[in-house]
């Protein structure tokens, strides 16, 4: 763990790196005064560099939201400062990779070791690469595998390198809540569908629901129980704002996943010591008043979406996914698996069926990678949950482990109804964060 000498050496290294960026940034800005058009990009680079040193958690959280942002009006100013027309996701990913490298350097006296459950993620990477070799769409298979072993792998591994202390864990979830509050403030009704909220200029209510849900679960699963006494009330306003907006967003899978995660977190807290039990009882009282109020102020169109969904599920009907019912997409995945028990190959589902993805991560893996892919995913999730449950039994890590495990439940639930393997980037982040929460220490980050 951290020793005094190691901490002093780390502080000296951090100070030297910080001064380098300060001086280099100032020199570059001065040198570019003759070309003012480049100054915003240079200033943005300096800000990113400072964040990589002093607040790497900000780059980690921004990496999770850059995808939804870049296709909206909010992403236009960010894309404008990207040099040479580089894709914003690539730029932020490179910045996060730099932050990971700096974090590893600063903590070189106590190097990162991968938890045993992380080995199953590496198995999944390997299975994807092998599946690309016999895919009916070789270029698509290689592209999907490379995307997974870069962007998805970065989302999984970055928390293990960056979030190594309790203070860093808290900062990460504070930033997640900040993003959720910002989303709740700026969302607007979608033009294409009544009862749906999207980011300005965007068209994806599922991403909006996910970001709002992450904020809600971060508050209920960690920030509320981790606070003490009346200071918990500071989380009441962001909780009210994000939860009520989540109900109004029309994001069905996000709402279900959030409610499941919050129920599990609250039940876990009720069993975890007197202090957490009191916090959980107070939280139950707040939610008992908040949930009915959130439903009452939800727009009628959004309520109708939820009620129709419940009726469809009871009747066995599929959900409209923009061109095909979910049952049709699922059946196509099942048929592909039945004809290719070992998997048809990475990216084979869209190549063979004509659909983009089956909106179910297990069916996607089964159809493309067979039982090997499904087993790797289940082993990763099971290993992560086992590690989190063990950590939750420790008095020193209980609150953080419960918070991280609760956060994992939301994207895991949504992965059975939305997006594809790489589109579920927050799922891989949540797995990495849950594993990171099992080995946090009380030391400066």
pLDDT at 272: 65
pLDDT at 57: 95
Per-residue pLDDT of 252-300, as tens digits, reads 899 999 999 999 988 887 776 666 677 778 888 888 899 999 899 888 8
The pLDDT of residue 123 is above 50: yes
Measured distance CA(407)–CA(221) in Å, rounded? 7
The two tokens of residue 134 are 């016999």
pLDDT at 442: 73
pLDDT at 239: 96
pLDDT top residue among 327 and 155? 155
Dihedral pair phi/psi, residue 319, rounded to 5°: -100, 140
Q: What is the percent of the chain where pLDDT is above 70?
A: 84
Confidence band of 320 (pLDDT split at 50, 70, 90): very low
Measured distance CA(42)–CA(54) in Å, rounded? 18
Q: Which of 23-27, 89-93, 302-306 has the highest mean pLDDT?
A: 89-93
The pLDDT of residue 220 is above 90: yes
pLDDT at 36: 58
The pLDDT of residue 322 is above 60: no
Q: What is the average pLDDT value for the chain, to the nearest integer?
A: 86
The pLDDT of residue 5 is above 50: no
pLDDT at 136: 95
pLDDT at 30: 61
pLDDT at 445: 39
Measured distance CA(251)–CA(233) in Å, rounded? 27
Over residues 66-85, the mean pLDDT reads 78
139-146's contacts with Cβ under 8 Å and 24+ in sequence apart are 140/346, 140/347, 140/350, 140/351, 141/345, 141/346, 141/347, 141/348, 142/346, 143/347, 144/346, 144/347, 144/421, 144/422, 145/346
Contact call for residues 220 and 406 (beta carbons, < 8 A): yes
Over residues 97-120, the mean pLDDT reads 90
Confidence band of 52 (pLDDT split at 50, 70, 90): confident
Measured distance CA(90)–CA(66) in Å, rounded? 10
Measured distance CA(308)–CA(442) in Å, rounded? 48
Contact call for residues 436 and 156 (beta carbons, < 8 A): no
Q: Which of 344, 339, 345, 342 is nearest to 142 (CA)?
A: 345
Q: What is the percent of the chain where pLDDT is above 90?
A: 55
Dihedral pair phi/psi, residue 441, rounded to 5°: -125, 160
The pLDDT of residue 33 is above 70: no
Contact call for residues 347 and 144 (beta carbons, < 8 A): yes
Dihedral pair phi/psi, residue 165, rounded to 5°: -130, 165
Confidence band of 312 (pLDDT split at 50, 70, 90): low
Confidence band of 79 (pLDDT split at 50, 70, 90): confident
The pLDDT of residue 106 is above 60: yes
For 166-202, letters b (16+ CB in 10 Å) and e give bbbbbbbbbbbbebbbebbeebebbeeeebbbbbeeb
pLDDT top residue among 115 and 85? 115
42-46's contacts with Cβ under 8 Å and 24+ in sequence apart are 44/81, 46/21
The pLDDT of residue 3 is above 50: no
Q: How many CB atoms lie within 10 A of CB 274?
A: 7
The pLDDT of residue 85 is above 80: no
**How many residues belong to the chain?**
445
The two tokens of residue 437 are 């929460």
The pLDDT of residue 443 is above 60: no
pLDDT at 321: 42
The pLDDT of residue 15 is above 70: no
The two tokens of residue 148 are 């997974």
Over residues 234-254, the mean pLDDT reads 93
pLDDT at 108: 84
Q: Chain centroid to CA 111: how far?
A: 25
The pLDDT of residue 18 is above 70: no
- From 115-129, 130-144, 291-305, the region with the lowest mean pLDDT: 291-305
């Amino acid at each position: 763990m951290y020793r005094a000498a190691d901490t002093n050496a780390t502080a000296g290294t951090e100070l030297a790196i910080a001064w380098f960026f300060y001086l280099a940034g100032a020199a570059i800005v001065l040198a570019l005064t003759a070309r003012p058009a480049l100054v915003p990009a240079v200033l943005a680079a300096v800000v990113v560099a400072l964040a990589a040193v002093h607040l790497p958690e900000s780059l980690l959280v921004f990496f999770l939201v850059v995808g939804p942002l870049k296709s909206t009006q909010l992403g236009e100013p960010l894309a404008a400062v990207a040099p040479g027309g580089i894709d914003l996701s690539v730029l932020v990913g490179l910045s996060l990779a730099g932050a990971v490298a700096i974090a590893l350097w600063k903590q070189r006296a106590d190097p990162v070791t991968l938890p045993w459950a992380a080995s199953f993620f590496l198995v999944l990477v390997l299975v994807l690469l092998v599946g690309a070799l016999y895919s009916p769409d070789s270029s698509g298979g290689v592209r999907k595998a490379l995307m997974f072993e870069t962007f998805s792998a970065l989302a999984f591994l970055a928390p293990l390198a960056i979030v190594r202390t309790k203070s860093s864990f808290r900062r990460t979830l504070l930033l997640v809540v900040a993003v959720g509050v910002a989303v709740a403030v700026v969302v607007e009704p979608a033009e294409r569908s009544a009862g749906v909220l999207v980011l300005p200029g965007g068209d994806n209510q599922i991403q909006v629901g996910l970001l709002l849900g992450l904020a809600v679960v971060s508050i209920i699963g960690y920030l509320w129980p981790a606070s003490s006494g009346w200071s918990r009330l500071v989380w009441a306003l962001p909780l009210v704002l994000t939860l009520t907006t989540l109900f109004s967003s029309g994001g069905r899978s996000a709402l279900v996943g959030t409610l499941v995660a919050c129920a599990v977190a609250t039940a876990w807290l009720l069993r975890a010591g007197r202090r957490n039990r009191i916090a959980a009882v107070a939280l139950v009282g707040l939610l008992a008043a908040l949930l009915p109020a959130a439903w009452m102020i939800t727009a009628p169109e959004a309520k109708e979406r939820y009620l129709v969904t419940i009726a469809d599920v009871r009747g066995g009907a599929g959900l409209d996914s923009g061109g095909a019912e979910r049952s049709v997409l699922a059946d196509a995945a099942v048929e592909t698996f039945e004809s290719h028990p070992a998997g048809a190959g990475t990216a084979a589902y869209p190549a063979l069926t004509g659909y983009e993805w089956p909106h179910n991560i297990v069916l996607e893996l089964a159809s493309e990678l067979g039982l090997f892919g499904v087993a790797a995913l289940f082993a990763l999730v099971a290993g992560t949950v086992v590690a989190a449950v063990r950590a939750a039994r420790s008095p020193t890590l209980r609150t953080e482990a419960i918070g991280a495990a609760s956060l994992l439940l939301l994207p895991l639930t949504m992965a059975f109804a939305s997006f594809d393997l790489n589109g579920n980037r927050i799922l891989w982040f949540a797995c990495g964060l849950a594993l990171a929460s099992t080995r946090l220490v009380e030391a400066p980050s």
